[in-house]
Structure 1
Amino acid sequence: MNLDAYLKRIGYVAPVRADLDTLNGLMDAHVRAVPFENLDIHAERPILNTAEAAYEQIVTRGQGGWCYEMNALFGWVLNEIGFEVTRLSGGVRRAKLGDDALGNHLCLMVTLDRDYLVDVGFGGSQISAIALEHAETLHPPLRMALVPIEDGYWRLHEGGWGSAMSFDFRAEPADEALLARQHDLQISDPNSIFRKTLTAKIRRGRAYHTLRGRMLETNHPGRKETRVIQSVDDMRDVLRDLFGLVEPDLETLWPMMTARHKQLFPHAHR
C-alpha cells in the first residue's frame, strides 16, 4: 500500500487521521474520482479477489471497480490510517431474492464513537458514513434510509424510505468464503446482472451519472436527463470524458451492448 499514491488518485489533500471528518472526506473524494464499473467482467479479463489486485486496478492503472474491489481497497486504506474496520457480507435485493443474495456485496463497518456503515462500492450512491441507527440520510442527489429488520439484519434503501433497491447486512465480520464464492459466481454466471449489463457510475459535482449499456442517465437535484449512446465512438468519448475510463476492447463489446440495450429498453428510440 502506497497511501500517498492512493490519496493522489482520489485527489485528497487534507491531513489524514482516524476520525469521522477524515472518513467522510475520503469517501466523498473516492466516489467522485473512482467510477463504479464492470468493464473487466464484460471483456473477460482475469479478476483477482484481493486488495492488492484492487490497488493495481484502481491506483496503478487508474481504472474503476465493483464492490469487491472498491471496498477491499478502501478498507485497506482505512486500516493503514488507523481506523477499526470490519468487512461485512451484504445481500443486494435480499428482500426479493432471499438469503441466496447474501455475500453478493462487500461493504464495511467502521467503529469510531459508534458503528458506521461505510460503502464506496454500491455504485457511489453513499458519500458519507451512515451511523447504524434507524434514519434517513442525504447523499445529494440521493437519499439513503437505514432500517433495522428481523434476525439482527439492517436494510439500506438506496433512494430513501421503502425504495426497492436495497441491500441487507449484519454488523458482524463477513463470511469470507461466502464472499469469495459469490465474487466468482457473479463473474461466471450468465444470469448475473454484472455479466448481462455493462455498467458505470460516477459523481461529478452535484450530478450522479449512471451508464447501463447504451443508456446514460444523469440525476441532478430535482431533475433527470437520459440519452442513448449512438455509436462506438460516442461510447468511447463518454467512458473517457465522463467516467475517466479507457476500454481497449470496446469494438468487440459493442454488439453485446446493442443487443442488451434492445432487451432493457425495447421501446426506446434508437
Structure 2
Amino acid sequence: METTAYLERIGFDERRPSANRTQSNHVDTELAPTLETAGRLQRAHAQAVPFENLDIVGDPFDADPTPPAGVQLNLPHLYQKIVERERGGFCFELNGLFTWLLRELGFDADRVAARMVGDDGTGRPPANHHTIAVEFDRRYLLDVGTGAPQLRRPLPIDGEVVVDDVGVAWRVVESERPDEEFLTQYRLPEGEWEDRYLFTDRPRELSYFEATCEYLASAPESPFTGAPVATIATEYGYQTLRTDSLIRWTGGDEREEPVEPDEWHGLFQALFGRSSR
C-alpha cells in the first residue's frame, strides 16, 4: 500500500514551493500533516472517488451479468479496489481507507462510528456510518464517505459554521439524544438546516464496523441493496447517476435529466473517469 499511488489516484499534487528555495524550479515535496493539507486532501478525494454501491447491486445494464463482487472491509482489499482499480465505494470503504492514508501521512486520525439520520429523524442501525475525527488545534471531522452533498472541508466539532466552496454550510451541534454526543448538520444555499448524522467522538477499530457493513450490504431493507447509484463532487457542486436519471447540482440549482439504458455506460465513464465494470 503506497501513499504516493493513493495521492495520484485522487489527483493530489503534494508539491509546494519551498520557503527557502534557492532555485526557481525547486519544490519541497514534504507533505506536512497540517489542517491546510487535510483540507486539500479532503477536497481532492471528494472530486476523484465516487460514492457508489455497484459492488453490492451490480451493473444494471451488463450484457453478461456476473454476481456483484460484494464488500470486503479490510485495508489491502480496499486499497486494491479504490486505488489500483480506481473504483469508489460507500462510507466504510472510503473513510476506511482514507483513515489509513491520513495516518500514514502523520495525521492524528481516529475512526468514529456515526448514525446517518433518516427521513423519519431517527439514526439506525448503530454504527451505520464511518466518519473520521482528526486532531489539530481542536477536533475536526474529515469525511469522504457520504453521498451528496459531500463534506469538502474539515469541520470543527465545536459548533463553528463552515461554508464550503459551493455554498453549502456545515456545523456540528450537541445532540439531544442521550446515546450520542453530537449531530452533524448541513444547509444548502437559501435552505434550512438538515440533519446528516449523529456521532460520539470515540475511537474505533475498522473491525468495529464489520457487522453493520455486512448488514447494509446484504439486507433487503438496506438503502444500498436497491437501485444502483453513483455520486461525486465537482468543482461547482455534485452529480449523481441513477439507473434512469442524471442529477446535476450547481450552486443551489438542481437539474435532473432522463438517461436511456444505452447511454448509461458512456455516462458513467464520462462522469467518474472509469468503466462501471
TM over 0.5: yes
1:91 aligns with 2:120: no
C-alpha contact (below 8 Å) 1:24/1:127 kept by paired residues: yes
Point out the more displaced range, 9-18 or 173-182: 173-182
1:193, CA displacement in angstroms? 0.7
The normalised TM-score by structure 1 is 0.85
Range 107-116 or range 201-210, more displaced? 201-210
Tell me the residue number matched to 1:256.
none
RMSD: 2.0
Q: Size of the alignment, in residue pairs?
A: 247
Letter matched to residue 186 of structure 2: E
Q: Tell me how far apart the structure 1 counterparts of residues 91 and 237 of structure 2 sit (CA, whole Å).
A: 21
Matches within 5 A, 1:119-268: 119-123=143-147, 125-139=150-164, 140-150=166-176, 151=178, 152-159=180-187, 163-174=193-204, 178-231=208-261, 233-248=262-277
Deviation string 1:1-56 (CA, Å, 9 cap, x unpaired) is: 20110111111112421110110010011111111111110122132111221111
Which of these two proteins has the greater Rg computed from alpha carbons? Answer: 2
Letter in 2 for 1:181: A
Is 1:106 aligned to residue 130 of structure 2? yes
C-alpha separation in 1, matches of 2:53 and 2:193: 24
Partner-residue secondary structure (3-state), 1:171: strand
- Percent identical among aligned pairs is 28
User: Structure 1: which 5+ residue stretches go unaligned?
Assistant: 249-270
TM-score by length of 2: 0.83
* Separation in 2, partners of 1:163, 1:216: 25
SS at the partner of 2:47?
A: helix
Distance apart, 1:149 and its partner CA: 1.1
Residue 94 of structure 1, CA deviation: 6.0
Do the aligned residues in 1 keep the contact of 2:183 with 2:195 (CA within 8 Å)? no
Q: From 35, 60, 67, give the equivalent of 2:50.
A: 35
CA distance 1:176–1:207, shift in 2 (3 Å): closer
Q: CA deviation at 1:142?
A: 2.6
- CA separation of 1:30 and 1:79: change in aligned 2, threshold 3 A: same
CA distance in 1, matches of 2:123, 2:145: 20
Q: For 1:240 and 1:131, how far apart are their aligned partners in 2?
A: 35
Any stretches of 5+ residues in structure 2 without a counterpart? Answer: 15-28, 59-67
Structure number with the higher helix fraction is: 1
